[in-house]
Structure 1
Amino acid sequence: MKIKNILGMMLLSSLFFVACDNDEDVRTDDGLTVKFSSSIEGLIPSRAAGSGWDSDDAIGVFMLKAGQALSDANIVDGAANKEYVTATGDGRFAPAVGQTISYPADGSNVDFIAYYPYTVINNYQYAVNVENQTSQPAIDLLYANNAKGLNKDNAAAALSFSHQLVKMVFNIKAGTGISSLEGLSITLGGMKTQATFALADGTLNVEDASGKELSVKLSPAVEGVVGEAIILPVAALNGGSIVFTLPSGAFRWEIPANQEYAKGKKYTYDVELRNSGGGVTASISATIEDWIDAPKQNINIDFGNTTPGDGSKENPYTVDQALTLTQNDVWVGGYVAGVQQTRAYTVKTNILLAKTAGETDPSKCVLVQLVDGSDIQKALNLVDHPELEGKFVKVLGNVESGVVSNVTEQVGGAESGTPQTQNIFTESFDGQDLSGGSKVKIGSYTGFDNGVGLIFSDEYGTADVRYLKSTANNNVWFPADKDASLKISGINAAGYTNIKLTYKAAANVYNAGTSIDLNKLKVYWNGQELTVPSKVVSKDNGDANVFYELVISTGMTASANAELKFVALGADNNLGLRIDDIKLVGDK
């Protein structure tokens, strides 16, 4: 659903959705088919132009026992994450094949929970990821849990949806001295990008390690350019930034400390870019409004300073000044442009700072020397932190004719004093094309993502890598009634703390009445069995070969030559199990 002027709900001969607050009295012959009317708090479009639904928009709906929490035990008649689609985009939603919901025939009361956009749900958690901003509607999470205590005698269930994330809009105009906005880009820094949303109670849990620069989606407007972004709510953002980049220069605005971005609100920035001869500047006014009502606040910002710095932390010397300056214990600020003599980022001993982001001429850059093993090097070197390219940083040190040495402080680099969550190991099993139906034993498979320095084996010789059509990728198959394993030896986890393992598992529950707990697939770290969370899957719940992500965050200690092993014993595995997308992360 592209959050536009209406949210349709259910109509016609099965479970349908109609336009906002529309309550059609339509029933099937049994009188049990659930009807819905709906509304959204505020009707702000999720894109700059246009309104209404797009074809094939889909939502997910759950029906559960009245007054009970959302869980496997409380789902009524298997109505869990039922998909409804508006085929033509007219706001009328019909169930996908086999997805119809009906009230209980005995008249018992039920509650409803719904969300948009539709996706696969694991453990009643909606995975939120706003890294890709190209399709705003695809990441604009809506949630409704107000329809409670209803039964077959109710004419309709009225669902009230609300926005769970934050909308940012940039209205950008070219001012004096700017002839064109062609080539403009906007990036957001210092924000988290991933979270899990609990459908049971509507809480959002942000992943601390998911910080990543976001590229704002830009579209032409009648006057200038419109930028849009959807971000995660944050009570007090620190270290955030907005960078406007034109071919003539890049200009970074530091978002004020403790800035709140509240869920369900839209933050609009009116921006005019100017160049009056001393460089490009930006004049910004900002308003904040609910997606329903519009209490506002105004913020006036002038960034893109064209005056020389004084060497202080608050007003560092510019790159132009530092190229001719000789002075000790002063601050210099600039945009990270690379390293001396190479663009391959194989050097940790220096970085280049430029007046503008994207500079490629080293003669226009200041060379910042990084002492081996120092915290400054850990925070600023581009080998470990390539994401710093184009970022604005400040350093405190001795300046002599374009070289900064003896750096003792920095602002804008990675937080070297705080361990950072890093990838240790990942494996997708997709490096070899098996779509033709080949099944390759573990010891013979050649398409591992991490083949160099690692050993993949199966001590029983029964597991294999194979292609699954329903997911269109490879996975490891542990056959039913046989002992099978996947052992990965030689993982370098030295120096890591808080090691966490995630992987996806599925079961071959194809016959009616069959079920299995995915924790029958045992996991070992350096020979010690780990505690695998319980996840029961069944045919009756539609779980046949549906992958669920399992997370283990205890029991794994640092090791330079670690062994990770998955084991399914035939006595426990009577259906067949699968595993995919293994990932190890840790703090270092």
Structure 2
Amino acid sequence: MKKQALLVFAVAALLPGCSNDTDTDTGNDTRVSLQVSGGISIQTRAQDKDWNKGDAIGIYMVDAGSMDIAEGAENRRYITAEGDGKFSPAPDNTVYFPVDGSATDFLAYYPFEAALTDGALSVDAGSQTDQAAIDLMTAKTVSTADEPLDKNHSKVSLAFTHRLTKLSLTIAAGNGMAAEDLAGLEVEITNQRAKGSYSPLSETFSVASEPVQTIALNTAASGTSAVAILLPTTGPEGINPIVAGRQLVFTLAGTGEVFRWDIPDSKSFKQGDKNIYDITINRTSLDVTATIVDWNEGNEGGEPGSAE
């Protein structure tokens, strides 16, 4: 079962005359603000189970059933200052429900980006140094007749899901190799599109078709593990069709020896999937097996393989 992060928005009934980050009395109506708290399950983030200090999400409030921004609440920044899942609006970013009681929908994304280009945030998997910064997650909840979202029904839950795909390798020394030989190992994946954009409001991806590049995985100094967050591949008519001839490439630091494994052209790295591969580097070959862990079940039972 896929684990999800839940952000719960709860109304705080505060006295009139408070700052602009609280509820305020406007004659016969009260402006109702959002107070945000959130929890993250162990597989939600790229590296650990918790928010980091200073993590920020972007929030949109729209008129129910539309993409029309309500109350100017577009790309509002909410921050968990202590990394404890309790979010507060940045200055002048508080979201207020419409005072007339109109129903609204909510969209949100992580990580927050202030300078959007034509309403879209940039996505770049070319560098894997800071994986939390490229672990794009999004959420949406809509008003319904049974569960309206308005100032009188202002408790809103957002379930975040991953929009990219994760590749995780566990690496061991095999025949003719010592564990020390893996130190400084370089791991790469070839034939990847790395750049694109995502529009939180329209919930649409755009992927740059060129250039296709080789991406270096984030590899432990010991060489025993490597991780990458990549743009998900799609069918031939999709936004990111598979580029034939993809390989995992392993280069030993001490000797410069190179080992390659051909990724089957039929293998899609789908949105939200986490694919884990167990790699054994023998002196003359690679042994590769694949199993399934969380994010979503990406390998559908596992994929055996070997390469020289």
TM-score tier by shorter-chain length is 0.7 to 0.9
The 5-angstrom pairing of residues 163-312 of structure 1 reads: 163-179=162-178, 180=180, 181-219=182-220, 225-236=224-235, 237=242, 238-246=244-252, 247-248=254-255, 249-275=257-283, 279=284, 281-288=285-292, 291-292=295-296, 296-304=300-308
* Equivalent residue number for residue 77 of structure 2: 83
For the pair 1:125 / 2:120, whether they are aligned, the reply is yes
Note if 1:53 corresponds to 2:51.
yes
Question: How many residues are matched?
Answer: 277
Equivalent residue number for residue 239 of structure 2 = none
Q: Is the 8 A contact 2:57 2:79 kept in 1?
A: yes
User: 1:242 Cα shift?
Assistant: 0.9
Spell out the pairing of 1:131-530 with structure 2 (5 A cutoff): 131-148=126-143, 149-179=148-178, 180=180, 181-219=182-220, 225-236=224-235, 237=242, 238-246=244-252, 247-248=254-255, 249-275=257-283, 279=284, 281-288=285-292, 291-292=295-296, 296-304=300-308
Q: Deviations over 1:377-429 (max 9, x none)?
A: xxxxxxxxxxxxxxxxxxxxxxxxxxxxxxxxxxxxxxxxxxxxxxxxxxxxx
- The 3-state SS of whatever aligns with 1:105 is coil
Q: Are the equivalent residues in 1 in contact too, given 2:103–2:149 (CA < 8 A)? A: yes
Q: Is the 8 A contact 2:273 2:297 kept in 1?
A: no
Write out per-residue CA displacement over residues 548-567 of structure 1, whole angstroms, 9 at most, x where no aligned residue. Answer: xxxxxxxxxxxxxxxxxxxx
Offset of 1:155 from its aligned partner?
A: 3.9
Contact 1:268/1:287 (CA < 8 Å) preserved in 2? Answer: yes
Indicate if the aligned counterparts of 2:11 and 2:35 stay in contact, CA closer than 8 A.
Answer: no
Asked if the contact 1:6/1:52 (under 8 Å) is kept, the reply is no
Mapped contact 2:275–2:292 kept (Cα < 8 A) = yes
RMSD (CA atoms): 2.7
Shift in alpha-carbon separation, 1:45–1:154, aligned structure 2, 3 A: closer
Instruction: Give TM-score scaled by structure 1 length.
Output: 0.44
1:60–1:117 CA contact under 8 A, matched in 2: yes
- Shift of the 290–8 alpha-carbon distance from structure 1 to 2, 3 Å rule, reads same
SS in 1 for 2:133: helix
Q: Offset of 1:77 from its aligned partner?
A: 1.8
> In structure 2, do the counterparts of structure 1 residues 57 and 7 end up closer, same or farther at CA, with 3 Å as the change threshold?
farther
Greater mean alpha carbon deviation, residues 285-294 or residues 207-216: 285-294
Measured at CA, do residues 47 and 106 of structure 1 come closer, stay the same or move farther in structure 2, by a change above 3 Å?
A: closer
- 1:170 is matched by which residue type in structure 2? L
Query: Partners in 1 of 2:128 and 2:82 — Cα distance?
Result: 24
**What amino acid is the match of 1:240?**
R
Structure 2: give runs of 5+ residues left out of the alignment.
Answer: 14-21, 25-29, 236-241
Q: Report deviation, 1:219.
A: 2.3
Q: Secondary structure at the match of 2:201?
A: coil
Deviation at 1:145, TM superposition (A): 1.8
TM-superposed deviation, 1:124: 2.2
State the Cα deviation string for residues 493-526 of structure 1 (Å, max 9, x = none): xxxxxxxxxxxxxxxxxxxxxxxxxxxxxxxxxx
Residue 54 (structure 1) shift: 0.8
The CA deviation at 1:203 is: 2.4
**CA offset at residue 8 of structure 1?**
5.0
Whether contact under 8 Å (1:35, 1:157) holds in the other structure is no
Shift of the 263–67 alpha-carbon distance from structure 1 to 2, 3 Å rule, reads same
C-alpha deviation, 1:38, in angstroms: 5.9
Larger Rg: 1
Which structure has more relative contact order (CA 8 Å, sep 6+)? It is 2
What stretches of structure 1 of length at least 5 have no aligned partner? 15-26, 305-588
Q: Which amino acid aligns with 1:231?
A: L
Aligned to 1:64: 62
Deviation at 1:226, TM superposition (A): 1.6
Deviations 1:209-256 (A, max 9, x none): 1322111001257xx622110111112522211101113301122211
| Residue equivalent to 1:111 | 105
Q: Deviations over 1:440-499 (max 9, x none)?
A: xxxxxxxxxxxxxxxxxxxxxxxxxxxxxxxxxxxxxxxxxxxxxxxxxxxxxxxxxxxx
Contact 2:5 2:44 in 1 (8 A): no
